[in-house]
A and B are shown apart, each in its own frame.
Chain A
């Protein structure tokens, strides 16, 4: 029997289908987690409002699509740019002011930002509280055995891959990327080597925010959203970066896929009741066995 003819059979099993959707759904979380990983890895900054940037990204993309008439996939770029600018403002006028002080100050700022963003979004978009970015590809899908993969979901996977490749190139092949890596390993030494830490931090936060913006735009194309969607993705993103290892992009990818699979397979086997619990239990197990995460590096 040819391998290709076995694929429909394999995908016909409910468990395999749950695995497939776990991979697909994990992609957006990978993007969000990578951005968070970048910020945490370079700046050692805990930003609990990272998921709110995803939410803002979704709404910006929605506005760009419905008001400016942009194709939703082009609106991803608008989203990334807008949320990057917001990220720059947050870093400069909020987090930088408390850098070097108690860690709690950073945490409280990020917690406060959650409410600011959520309430602002509610105020601005109260008339359309639960919405979805209209996609020209809605209803179109590719059959894979007994399930279908929508064009939107396929495109989201492709876009995530492109963005991640771009990020790897940025961090490995550019000066600023080198500076970011140096700062993430030893910020004092990086400063002594002439690296402008402030610029690196601002750039890092902007890139991390842009990734959240892209995740938000993709989220809004695939799923309906509202101003309160930011909280759960933040928690999942933290779980993913801890699972995959701080500072590791491959770790965020693998962690995101593992998390998505665990979540979906558990949802399939336990009717959704234990979904979140098992996914976090997986995190605990990995940390017990390997405290730095799957691909974690020891840093500062």
Chain B
């Protein structure tokens, strides 16, 4: 009896000791991964695109062996942590981002689509010093909140925390500059020739915008660009619509009364498509409509349909490029891989930013040699990589410092949508050339829509 008892106790002790030893050696602990929080509103087409693009990039990186982390002496795989902000509205983002940081201990955040959502969602990242590569939110305030007046509700007095924010996205200034110069250089010339306008006549531009920070930003920045660059454009109307509006005839009637040559629509995918359709089909405003790059999404093309023929889309990645060869090989590869992986879905604009951002994060971690967030942040600041899916002014991906804090130098372009063979097809009409692209980038010259009516002289 005593011998048996002693034997049992001995065995138990050995087993427990072995268990403790194995536990110390992390045998039972899950393998360490790099946790990247992907901030995406999964109830929106933009958010779904961000999520898919991130998954594609992560799978590619993991399949190639993962990310080398010098301090650990090994490659780690990336684990995607979906930070679902539902509709990415202002009230929907801070909670999921906070949980990703505190509960799931993400190493880095990537994503964010809307300005309003990102301005709220970035606050926990700032407070917790988590590097955040923002791939949406065209309002540059997301990296400049410290430069606001102290009594501004968006002001943040935390320069160090703000230094963890990186904006891998075109800003309102970037794309509104392209739009304004396209109108001044090309559209005005065509209209003057076609309708025999005097050269001194300014192009009449109406801005129809969402009544939120983003829309008001487009309104104000466009006016500044026109003034600063002394462009021959007159803003004849600034008309807003409620963010929860479902019909737009009333603001369109106001726009029509201003007799514009062109209407710059600062909205998201669904509302821009509806604005253009109601403008043309209901209100009889047969103008030239310009949609912004967030509409570079297959759902915009589908919603717009034939009504959108000859209308304008400002963009930074032509995922539905019409040509025998892709303007950038990388873009072609990305689109083909995306479509192959996700049942033929065509990628959108925000996904492209996110895809690049994942690779930027990989590069930063490898350069930092550690997952320490401050070191990764410093490495992000020193990013210097060849351009990827988004064309850059100097063909390199770098983040600025100083007053243009942590922003990139993207190049955007203008597409004209043509209804052909039962679908809307985009063709680049401006500018003629682009950095890093051989020969002509422009595919055709701009011409007004078939039923186009210019504004009154």
Selected contact of B251 from candidates A126, A138, A232, A271, CB within 8 Å: A271
A264 and B249 within 8 A (CB): yes
Stretch at the interface among A139-147, A207-215, A240-248: A139-147
B293 contacts partner chain A, Cβ-Cβ < 8 Å: no
Stretch at the interface among B9-17, B166-174, B238-246, B403-411: B238-246
Selected contact of B306 from candidates A127, A130, A139, A232, CB within 8 Å: A139
- Quote the shortest CB–CB distance from B304 to chain A (angstroms): 10
- Quote the shortest CB–CB distance from A79 to chain B (angstroms): 18
Give Cα distance in the complex from A18 to B256, angstroms: 12
B250 contacts partner chain A, Cβ-Cβ < 8 Å: yes
A126 and B48 within 8 A (CB): yes
Give Cα distance in the complex from A267 to B242, angstroms: 9
- Quote the shortest CB–CB distance from A138 to chain B (angstroms): 7
B45 and A129 within 8 A (CB): yes
A21 contacts partner chain B, Cβ-Cβ < 8 Å: yes
Contact with A along B281-318 (1 / 0, CB 8 A): 11110000000000000010011011100000000000
A-B contact count (CB 8 A): 114
Neighbouring A residues of B283 by C-beta, 8 Å: 17, 147-148
- Quote the shortest CB–CB distance from A149 to chain B (angstroms): 7
Neighbouring A residues of B274 by C-beta, 8 Å: 223-224
Give Cα distance in the complex from A52 to B283, angstroms: 29
Selected contact of A14 from candidates B254, B273, B302, CB within 8 Å: B254
Give Cα distance in the complex from A132 to B305, angstroms: 11
A117 contacts partner chain B, Cβ-Cβ < 8 Å: no
Contact with A along B223-257 (1 / 0, CB 8 A): 00000000000000001111011110111011011
A95 contacts partner chain B, Cβ-Cβ < 8 Å: no
Neighbouring A residues of B239 by C-beta, 8 Å: 271-272
Residue among A21, A226, A228, A276 with max Cβ neighbours from chain B (10 Å): A21
B43 contacts partner chain A, Cβ-Cβ < 8 Å: yes
Selected contact of A267 from candidates B48, B251, B269, B282, CB within 8 Å: B251
B87 contacts partner chain A, Cβ-Cβ < 8 Å: yes
Which residues in window 17-44 of B have CB below 8 A to A?
42-44
B186 contacts partner chain A, Cβ-Cβ < 8 Å: no
- Quote the shortest CB–CB distance from B283 to chain A (angstroms): 6
Give Cα distance in the complex from A69 to B341, angstroms: 28
Selected contact of A132 from candidates B87, B251, B284, B303, CB within 8 Å: B303
Give Cα distance in the complex from A276 to B241, angstroms: 11
Neighbouring B residues of A146 by C-beta, 8 Å: 256, 284
Return the chain A residue nearest B249 by Cβ: A21
Return the chain A residue nearest B250 by Cβ: A267
Neighbouring B residues of A187 by C-beta, 8 Å: none
- Quote the shortest CB–CB distance from A156 to chain B (angstroms): 12
- Quote the shortest CB–CB distance from B201 to chain A (angstroms): 23
B269 and A130 within 8 A (CB): yes
Neighbouring A residues of B249 by C-beta, 8 Å: 17-18, 21, 25, 264
Return the chain A residue nearest B242 by Cβ: A272
A55 contacts partner chain B, Cβ-Cβ < 8 Å: no
Selected contact of A18 from candidates B253, B284, B305, B306, CB within 8 Å: B253
- Quote the shortest CB–CB distance from A125 to chain B (angstroms): 11
B284 and A223 within 8 A (CB): no
Give Cα distance in the complex from A150 to B249, angstroms: 13
- Interface residues, chain B, with chain A CB atoms under 8 Å away: 42-45, 48, 87, 211, 239-242, 244-247, 249-251, 253-254, 256-257, 269-270, 273-274, 281-284, 299, 302-303, 305-307, 345
What are 6 A-B residue pairs whose CB atoms fall within 8 Å in the complex? A14-B257, A18-B250, A146-B256, A272-B240, A272-B250, A273-B240
